[in-house]
Amino acid sequence: MKRKSAILTICYCLALAAALGLYGFLQRDRGDSAELAGTIRCDYAFEELCRAAGELDTALCKAALASSPSLISTLCADGYASAAAALTALGQLDYSTVELEQTAAFLNAAAESCHSLLRSAARGENPTEQERTALSELRAAAAWFHESLETQRSALTEESGGTAEALTAMETDFPPLTADGSAAYPLLEGREKVTEHAAALVASAFAGQNAQTARCDGIIEAEEPFYKISMGSLTAFVTVRGGQLMRVYGDTPGGEPVYSEAEALELSEKLLQKRGYANMKELRHTLRDNCLVSTWCATEGDVVCFPDTVTLSLSLVDGGVVSFDATDYVRSHHSRVLDTKSYAWDAARAALGVAELQEEFLSLIEEDEEELLCLTFRCTTAEGRNALVFCSAATGAQVRIALVEPDGEFI
């Protein structure tokens, strides 16, 4: 009996130890899961904070250039929404209010300032000198805040193996599989459908590929159907109606650069002219991954048509086409008859304030689903940022402001 009791006691102890061990494991697993969930939540909140800070910086910088109450009202509304979004993201981070007191105070001040200017502008009033000064100080603080956050995000990205950069690169490679339901495609009106063979010839001719290696992988059904054409490492999309090339993308060839930036830009212009894109104005270009990426706008006389753009990427290694996007051009391009009467240049120039003027030209932009003729000014802000200011050609009133990023992109 004693031996049996001892054996049972040992069995009970072992069972209890196993149960305690299993409980501990489950609790640790739950703790790890909770920690992982918390980390993911904080990472997402930090990304949202960085995004909102960038949008706040952009809105305030544009508001400093704006002169018309309607445009100031729109930009201040954007700034208020960005500051509110940043505050929401800040509240999701695992820090106490005391630790983030200065950051929260700045975002609250930014939201209140934007809201105050929004109310004044909604009444048709321009900012006073005192409000302009306060806005300038707020803009400088927003720029510093955004830059500091981006520095922190870059450090975190490097530590995590560059996941954010990889996702960004992947996004740029997605082909246009669907079309905008509101697009009318005026360039394709009245044009007949083309065969698969004709579409393959269009794609291979543009990319400088052997037509015999091009094959059609079928039709992508959308409001405006596309042929999908494969040409070795390149993939192209050609409209069924009219056989218009919409998009080309492929891999960047390895090796050392052979062409300079200026030579690649000249090659890009010649290629576009040869392929039917005449009367194009180079809008911006940048070097990226051993490629020259350039954006071009169609022109009607002296008017730059911003809706009609194409983007071309040429390899600096062999001068070959790496990617091409003419989606906006195909959706918007058509013959236009533009009035060449006198415009309100003086009124528009006077509204620029202290911004340093670099270039002025006529342009066409899309505004409220209609095309608007604008007096356009490329200028530099007091902080040294490049910007485009669009003013109504008829009245000189500002209608839009775009900041030009170092890589040439507009925000």
The whole-number pLDDT of residue 116 equals 82
Distance CA 268, CA 368 (A): 33
Q: Which residues contact 272 (CB under 8 A, 6 or more apart)?
A: 278, 280, 296, 310, 312
| Tokens at 348, concatenated | 């528009």
Task: Count CB-CB contacts under 10 A for residue 398.
Answer: 24
To the question of domain 251-335 being in CATH 3.10.450, the answer is yes
How far apart (Å, rounded) are the C-alpha atoms in residues 64 and 72?
9
- Domain definitions of the chain by residue range: 2-171, 176-244, 251-335, 345-404
Q: Do domains 251-335 and 345-404 have the same CATH topology?
A: yes
Q: What is the pLDDT of residue 41?
A: 67
pTM: predicted TM-score of the whole model, two decimal places: 0.68
Secondary structure (H, E, C), 179-202: CCCCCCCHHHCCCCECCHHHHHHH
Residue 165 has what pLDDT? Answer: 43
**DSSP character at residue 396:** -
| Phi-psi label, residue 255: left if phi above 0, alpha if psi -120 to 50, beta otherwise | left
Give the pLDDT means over successive 10-residue stretches in the chain (411 positions): 45 47 50 55 78 87 84 86 83 63 78 82 78 81 81 65 40 39 70 90 88 85 84 88 89 86 93 89 88 91 90 91 90 79 84 83 85 89 85 89 79 80
How far, in Å, CA of 99 to CA of 88, rounded? 16
Q: Are 283 and 297 in contact (CB under 8 A)?
A: yes
Query: What is the reported pLDDT for 96?
Result: 57
- CA–chain centroid gap for 57, Å, is 15
The 10 Å Cβ neighbour count of residue 348 is: 24
- Distances from the Cα of 132 to the Cα of 63, 80, 139, angstroms: 10, 17, 10
- From residue 343, how far is each of 340, 350, 391, 396, 408 by CA, in Å? 8, 14, 10, 8, 28
Q: CATH fold of 345-404, please?
A: Nuclear Transport Factor 2; Chain: A, (3.10.450)
Strand locations in 316-397 (E): 321-325, 356-367, 370-380, 386-392
How is residue 316 written in tokens? 């600096």
Position 129 scores a pLDDT of 79
Q: What is the DSSP letter of 97?
A: T
What is the distance between the alpha carbons of residues 214 and 9, in angstroms, rounded to a whole number? 79
Q: What is the 3-state secondary structure (H, E, C) of 26-39?
A: HHHHHHHHHHHHHH
- CA-CA distance, 388 to 401, in Å (whole number)? 6
In Å, what is the CA distance from 253 to each residue of 206, 271, 323, 380? Answer: 18, 19, 12, 37
Helix (H) or strand (E) holding 305: strand 303-315
d(CA 228, CA 362): 37
Neighbours of 142 (CB within 10 A): 26
Contact in structure between 100 and 93 (CB atoms under 8 Å): yes
342: left (phi over 0), alpha (psi -120 to 50) or beta: beta
Q: Tell me the C-alpha distance between 67 and 70, whole Å.
A: 9
